[in-house]
Structure 1
Amino acid sequence: METLRHIVLFVHLIGFAVLFGAWAVQAFGGKREFTRLMSIGMTLAAVAGLALAAPWGLPEGAELNYAKIGTKLVVLLAIGALLGIGTSKQRKSGAVPAAMFWLVGILTALNAGIAAIWR
Protein backbone atom coordinates (compact mmCIF):
# COMPACT_ATOMS: atom_id res chain seq x y z
CA MET A 1 0.00 0.00 0.00
CA GLU A 2 2.90 2.32 0.74
CA THR A 3 4.20 1.80 -2.79
CA LEU A 4 0.86 2.89 -4.23
CA ARG A 5 0.92 6.00 -2.04
CA HIS A 6 4.40 6.85 -3.37
CA ILE A 7 3.16 6.42 -6.94
CA VAL A 8 0.26 8.80 -6.24
CA LEU A 9 2.74 11.28 -4.71
CA PHE A 10 4.86 11.00 -7.87
CA VAL A 11 1.80 11.74 -10.05
CA HIS A 12 1.00 14.72 -7.78
CA LEU A 13 4.51 16.10 -8.29
CA ILE A 14 4.24 15.60 -12.05
CA GLY A 15 0.97 17.58 -12.03
CA PHE A 16 2.66 20.44 -10.17
CA ALA A 17 5.62 20.35 -12.56
CA VAL A 18 3.36 20.45 -15.61
CA LEU A 19 1.35 23.39 -14.21
CA PHE A 20 4.33 25.42 -13.08
CA GLY A 21 6.46 24.50 -16.09
CA ALA A 22 3.75 25.50 -18.57
CA TRP A 23 3.23 28.75 -16.67
CA ALA A 24 6.99 29.49 -16.61
CA VAL A 25 7.30 28.88 -20.34
CA GLN A 26 4.54 31.42 -20.98
CA ALA A 27 5.89 33.87 -18.40
CA PHE A 28 9.45 33.96 -19.64
CA GLY A 29 9.20 33.18 -23.32
CA GLY A 30 5.63 33.03 -24.46
CA LYS A 31 2.73 35.39 -24.89
CA ARG A 32 1.66 35.29 -21.22
CA GLU A 33 -1.52 33.39 -21.83
CA PHE A 34 -3.16 30.41 -20.16
CA THR A 35 -2.74 27.12 -21.98
CA ARG A 36 -4.60 23.84 -21.89
CA LEU A 37 -1.48 22.24 -20.41
CA MET A 38 -1.79 24.44 -17.30
CA SER A 39 -5.34 23.18 -16.74
CA ILE A 40 -4.23 19.58 -17.26
CA GLY A 41 -1.39 19.97 -14.75
CA MET A 42 -3.70 21.58 -12.20
CA THR A 43 -6.28 18.81 -12.61
CA LEU A 44 -3.63 16.10 -12.29
CA ALA A 45 -2.18 17.69 -9.15
CA ALA A 46 -5.67 18.17 -7.69
CA VAL A 47 -6.85 14.60 -8.21
CA ALA A 48 -3.61 13.11 -6.91
CA GLY A 49 -3.56 15.57 -3.99
CA LEU A 50 -7.08 14.62 -2.97
CA ALA A 51 -6.09 10.95 -3.12
CA LEU A 52 -3.09 11.71 -0.90
CA ALA A 53 -5.35 13.47 1.61
CA ALA A 54 -7.21 10.23 2.23
CA PRO A 55 -5.94 8.32 5.27
CA TRP A 56 -4.71 5.18 3.47
CA GLY A 57 -1.27 3.66 3.22
CA LEU A 58 0.20 5.71 6.04
CA PRO A 59 2.92 4.19 8.21
CA GLU A 60 1.81 3.06 11.67
CA GLY A 61 1.31 6.02 13.99
CA ALA A 62 1.46 8.68 11.25
CA GLU A 63 -1.26 11.32 11.18
CA LEU A 64 -2.42 13.69 8.47
CA ASN A 65 -2.01 17.45 8.95
CA TYR A 66 -5.55 18.60 8.13
CA ALA A 67 -4.71 22.31 8.50
CA LYS A 68 -2.01 21.96 5.84
CA ILE A 69 -4.29 19.91 3.58
CA GLY A 70 -7.06 22.51 3.94
CA THR A 71 -4.73 25.40 3.21
CA LYS A 72 -3.36 23.69 0.12
CA LEU A 73 -6.92 22.93 -1.04
CA VAL A 74 -7.95 26.59 -0.70
CA VAL A 75 -4.89 27.70 -2.70
CA LEU A 76 -5.66 25.03 -5.32
CA LEU A 77 -9.25 26.24 -5.62
CA ALA A 78 -7.99 29.81 -6.08
CA ILE A 79 -5.62 28.63 -8.84
CA GLY A 80 -8.46 26.74 -10.51
CA ALA A 81 -10.76 29.76 -10.32
CA LEU A 82 -8.08 32.04 -11.77
CA LEU A 83 -7.37 29.60 -14.59
CA GLY A 84 -11.06 29.24 -15.37
CA ILE A 85 -11.86 32.96 -15.28
CA GLY A 86 -8.64 33.86 -17.09
CA THR A 87 -9.23 31.31 -19.84
CA SER A 88 -12.74 32.71 -20.34
CA LYS A 89 -11.41 36.28 -20.55
CA GLN A 90 -8.69 35.09 -22.90
CA ARG A 91 -11.27 33.62 -25.28
CA LYS A 92 -13.34 36.81 -25.25
CA SER A 93 -10.66 39.49 -25.43
CA GLY A 94 -7.61 37.55 -26.56
CA ALA A 95 -5.55 38.34 -23.46
CA VAL A 96 -5.35 37.42 -19.79
CA PRO A 97 -5.11 40.27 -17.28
CA ALA A 98 -1.48 40.53 -16.17
CA ALA A 99 -2.29 40.38 -12.46
CA MET A 100 -4.29 37.20 -12.94
CA PHE A 101 -1.51 35.57 -14.95
CA TRP A 102 1.21 36.36 -12.40
CA LEU A 103 -1.03 35.38 -9.49
CA VAL A 104 -1.38 31.85 -10.91
CA GLY A 105 2.41 31.44 -10.87
CA ILE A 106 2.76 32.93 -7.39
CA LEU A 107 0.00 30.73 -5.95
CA THR A 108 1.44 27.63 -7.62
CA ALA A 109 4.85 28.35 -6.09
CA LEU A 110 3.17 29.09 -2.75
CA ASN A 111 1.40 25.73 -2.83
CA ALA A 112 4.71 23.96 -3.45
CA GLY A 113 6.30 25.97 -0.65
CA ILE A 114 3.54 24.99 1.76
CA ALA A 115 4.06 21.34 0.85
CA ALA A 116 7.82 21.49 1.34
CA ILE A 117 8.15 23.78 4.37
CA TRP A 118 5.06 23.18 6.52
CA ARG A 119 5.54 20.07 8.67
Structure 2
Amino acid sequence: MEPLRLTLLFIHLIGFALLLGGSVAQYLSGRLRINPAMLWGSIIQVVTGLGLAAPLRGGGDHEPPTAKLAVKLVIGLMIFVMAFFSRKRDEVNRGHFLALVGLTIANAAVAVFWR
Protein backbone atom coordinates (compact mmCIF):
# COMPACT_ATOMS: atom_id res chain seq x y z
CA MET A 1 0.00 0.00 0.00
CA GLU A 2 2.92 2.37 0.53
CA PRO A 3 3.72 2.68 -3.22
CA LEU A 4 0.05 3.55 -3.88
CA ARG A 5 0.05 6.17 -1.11
CA LEU A 6 3.26 7.72 -2.43
CA THR A 7 1.90 7.77 -6.00
CA LEU A 8 -1.29 9.47 -4.84
CA LEU A 9 0.74 11.97 -2.83
CA PHE A 10 2.92 12.74 -5.88
CA ILE A 11 -0.15 13.32 -8.07
CA HIS A 12 -1.70 15.42 -5.28
CA LEU A 13 1.39 17.66 -5.30
CA ILE A 14 1.18 17.97 -9.09
CA GLY A 15 -2.44 19.13 -8.66
CA PHE A 16 -1.28 21.75 -6.15
CA ALA A 17 1.42 22.92 -8.56
CA LEU A 18 -1.13 23.22 -11.38
CA LEU A 19 -3.55 25.14 -9.19
CA LEU A 20 -1.08 27.57 -7.68
CA GLY A 21 1.10 27.87 -10.78
CA GLY A 22 -1.92 28.48 -12.99
CA SER A 23 -3.14 31.12 -10.55
CA VAL A 24 0.18 32.95 -10.46
CA ALA A 25 0.52 32.82 -14.24
CA GLN A 26 -3.00 34.15 -14.69
CA TYR A 27 -2.45 36.91 -12.11
CA LEU A 28 0.76 38.02 -13.80
CA SER A 29 -0.97 38.14 -17.17
CA GLY A 30 -3.21 40.90 -15.83
CA ARG A 31 -6.43 39.15 -16.82
CA LEU A 32 -8.05 37.45 -13.85
CA ARG A 33 -9.83 34.36 -15.10
CA ILE A 34 -9.93 30.65 -14.32
CA ASN A 35 -7.59 28.84 -16.69
CA PRO A 36 -7.61 25.08 -17.41
CA ALA A 37 -4.56 24.46 -15.20
CA MET A 38 -6.44 25.90 -12.21
CA LEU A 39 -9.55 23.86 -12.93
CA TRP A 40 -7.67 20.60 -13.44
CA GLY A 41 -5.47 21.29 -10.43
CA SER A 42 -8.55 21.67 -8.24
CA ILE A 43 -10.05 18.44 -9.61
CA ILE A 44 -6.80 16.54 -9.06
CA GLN A 45 -6.50 17.92 -5.52
CA VAL A 46 -9.98 16.76 -4.50
CA VAL A 47 -9.79 13.33 -6.15
CA THR A 48 -6.32 12.43 -4.90
CA GLY A 49 -7.06 13.93 -1.49
CA LEU A 50 -10.03 11.60 -1.15
CA GLY A 51 -7.85 8.74 -2.32
CA LEU A 52 -5.20 9.57 0.25
CA ALA A 53 -7.71 9.88 3.09
CA ALA A 54 -10.38 7.25 2.59
CA PRO A 55 -9.14 3.82 1.53
CA LEU A 56 -5.71 3.91 3.12
CA ARG A 57 -6.90 4.67 6.65
CA GLY A 58 -6.38 1.76 8.96
CA GLY A 59 -3.78 2.72 11.45
CA GLY A 60 -0.20 3.18 10.55
CA ASP A 61 2.35 5.92 10.42
CA HIS A 62 0.57 8.22 7.99
CA GLU A 63 -2.91 8.50 9.47
CA PRO A 64 -3.83 12.19 9.81
CA PRO A 65 -6.41 13.46 12.32
CA THR A 66 -10.02 13.26 11.14
CA ALA A 67 -10.59 16.97 11.80
CA LYS A 68 -7.65 17.84 9.54
CA LEU A 69 -9.10 15.70 6.76
CA ALA A 70 -12.49 17.37 7.14
CA VAL A 71 -10.99 20.87 7.01
CA LYS A 72 -8.91 20.01 3.95
CA LEU A 73 -11.94 18.48 2.23
CA VAL A 74 -14.08 21.55 2.85
CA ILE A 75 -11.36 23.90 1.60
CA GLY A 76 -10.66 21.69 -1.42
CA LEU A 77 -14.34 21.56 -2.35
CA MET A 78 -14.63 25.34 -1.96
CA ILE A 79 -11.69 25.79 -4.33
CA PHE A 80 -13.20 23.36 -6.84
CA VAL A 81 -16.64 25.00 -6.73
CA MET A 82 -15.15 28.48 -7.12
CA ALA A 83 -13.08 27.34 -10.11
CA PHE A 84 -15.76 25.17 -11.74
CA PHE A 85 -18.58 27.70 -11.71
CA SER A 86 -16.31 30.54 -12.86
CA ARG A 87 -14.44 28.67 -15.58
CA LYS A 88 -16.42 30.07 -18.52
CA ARG A 89 -16.30 33.72 -17.48
CA ASP A 90 -14.02 35.99 -19.44
CA GLU A 91 -12.91 37.61 -16.21
CA VAL A 92 -13.64 37.06 -12.51
CA ASN A 93 -13.69 39.62 -9.73
CA ARG A 94 -10.37 40.35 -8.09
CA GLY A 95 -11.69 39.30 -4.67
CA HIS A 96 -12.97 36.00 -6.04
CA PHE A 97 -9.64 35.26 -7.68
CA LEU A 98 -7.57 36.23 -4.64
CA ALA A 99 -9.88 34.18 -2.39
CA LEU A 100 -9.22 31.16 -4.58
CA VAL A 101 -5.46 31.72 -4.30
CA GLY A 102 -5.74 32.32 -0.54
CA LEU A 103 -7.72 29.12 -0.04
CA THR A 104 -5.12 27.21 -2.04
CA ILE A 105 -2.35 28.51 0.18
CA ALA A 106 -4.43 27.90 3.32
CA ASN A 107 -5.04 24.30 2.25
CA ALA A 108 -1.29 23.77 1.87
CA ALA A 109 -0.70 25.37 5.27
CA VAL A 110 -3.22 23.02 6.90
CA ALA A 111 -1.42 20.06 5.30
CA VAL A 112 2.00 21.15 6.51
CA PHE A 113 1.42 22.71 9.92
CA TRP A 114 -1.47 20.68 11.37
CA ARG A 115 0.01 17.69 13.16
After TM superposition, the score normalised by the length of structure 2 is: 0.89
Structure 1 unaligned runs (5+)?
none
The structure that has the greater radius of gyration is: 1
Partner of 2:75: 75
Q: Is the 8 A contact 2:39 2:87 kept in 1?
A: no
Structure 1 residue 60: Cα displacement: 3.6
Q: Is the 8 A contact 1:2 1:58 kept in 2?
A: no
Q: Displaced runs of 4+ in structure 1, greater than 4 A? A: none
Mean CA deviation greater in 72-81 or 27-36 = 27-36
C-alpha distance in 2 between matches for 1:12 and 1:50: 10
**1:103 partner letter:** A
Identity of aligned residues (%): 37
Q: Is the 8 A contact 1:2 1:57 kept in 2?
A: no
What SS is found at the alignment partner of 1:86?
coil
RMSD of equivalent CA atoms: 1.9
C-alpha distance in 1 between matches for 2:80 and 2:61: 34
**2:97 partner letter:** F
Q: 1:113 aligns with which of 105, 109, 112?
A: 109
Given the alignment of the two structures, is residue 103 of structure 1 paired with residue 99 of structure 2, yes or no? yes
Q: Is the 8 A contact 2:42 2:80 kept in 1?
A: yes
Structure 2 unaligned runs (5+)?
none
Higher helix share: 1
**Matched residues, number:** 115
Where do 1:47-62 residues align within 5 Å? Answer: 47-56=47-56, 60=60
